[in-house]
Amino acid sequence: MSRSPMPSSSFRPSPARVLARSLPEARWRPGLAAQPFHSEIFAPATEASGAGLALALARDALTSSAESGAVEDTRQILWVQDRQAIKRGGRPCLAGLPREWRHRVIHVAAATPEDALFALEEGVRCRDLACVIGEIAGNPKALSFTASRRLSLAAERHGVRLWLVRLDAEPDLSSARMRWRARAAPSPPPRWNAAAPGNATWHGELFRARAHAPGEWTLSDDHTHLAIARDTDGDFAAPDSVRLARATVGRSLAAVARA
């Protein structure tokens, strides 16, 4: 039995649906539950801004997942570096890692970019890992668009997130869902001691993202969460309020002291 062909107009999406797909969602902010599985961070090797921001973004993603109702993730973290990345920026220092990560990091020192890419792809295929952080220097031929696409597909298929730091590299073709430029920034003044070192702070430029509009932020790690350190006017954001004493409304000070 022959069937009449469907009209061509039935295969065309509505203009509203096309417009909704073309427009990015709301601006990125720390604490979003939906995080991409493959991100890149371009940073100079003369400072630790790339690794620092990758570490902060990874913690933010894992913390946001736990706060959204998921079980706390206590799996291992894989950290892969090629030889040039180690030579230019050094190895991760356990004392500088978050306390809850120090016994969970598996470090791989790869001799070549090819070996590093192999370790990264094997890492994102392993569901026993919470996430993968990689560092590769320059623009090696091995890190082609095809290799980047393999990383994206493997990470999304197996549900293991990857943050790849590109040291002293130019943004070439990549399938990474989110791409950052990072550099060091002045720390906000400490709350209690002006002479004390401030929290680690970076200037982050999100220049490509599938679900968000491009933007720039000054981001700071307060040891528990990733936060925006400066507002849109360039001023430091006000510190969170701290309750130093209980409220005494309707009660005498003597009663509060006895409580």
For 60-82, the pLDDT digits (tens) are: 998 887 665 566 778 999 999 99
Q: Classify 257 as helix, strand or coil.
A: helix
Kindly report the CA angle at 64 between 189 and 68, in degrees rounded to 5?
Answer: 135
Q: What sign for the dihedral angle of Cα 171, 235, 190, 100? A: negative
- Distances, alpha carbon 18 to alpha carbons 21, 23, 149, 213, in Å: 5, 9, 25, 17
Q: Specify whether the CB–CB gap between 137 and 44 falls below 8 A.
A: no
Q: What are phi and psi of 39, to 5 degrees?
A: -130, 150
d(C-alpha 116, C-alpha 93), whole Å? 19
Q: Which of 58, 5, 74, 41 is closest to 182 using CA atoms?
A: 41
DSSP code, position 21: H
Q: Give me the pLDDT at residue 100, please.
A: 86
d(C-alpha 41, C-alpha 53), whole Å? 8
Contacts of 9 (CB under 8 A, 6+ apart): none
Q: Give me the pLDDT at residue 225, please.
A: 79
Query: Region 243-247: what's the mean pLDDT?
Result: 40
Of all residues in the chain, what percent carry a pLDDT higher than 70?
76
Q: What are phi and psi of 128, to 5 degrees?
A: -85, 0
d(C-alpha 175, C-alpha 5), whole Å? 37
For residue 221, the surrounding DSSP H or E stretch is: strand 215-221
Angle between helices 145-158 and 113-124 (to 10 degrees): 20
Q: Provide the whole-model pTM.
A: 0.78
Query: Region 117-126: what's the mean pLDDT?
Result: 98
d(C-alpha 220, C-alpha 188), whole Å? 8
Answer whether residue 215 shows pLDDT above 70. yes
Q: Classify 138 as helix, strand or coil.
A: coil
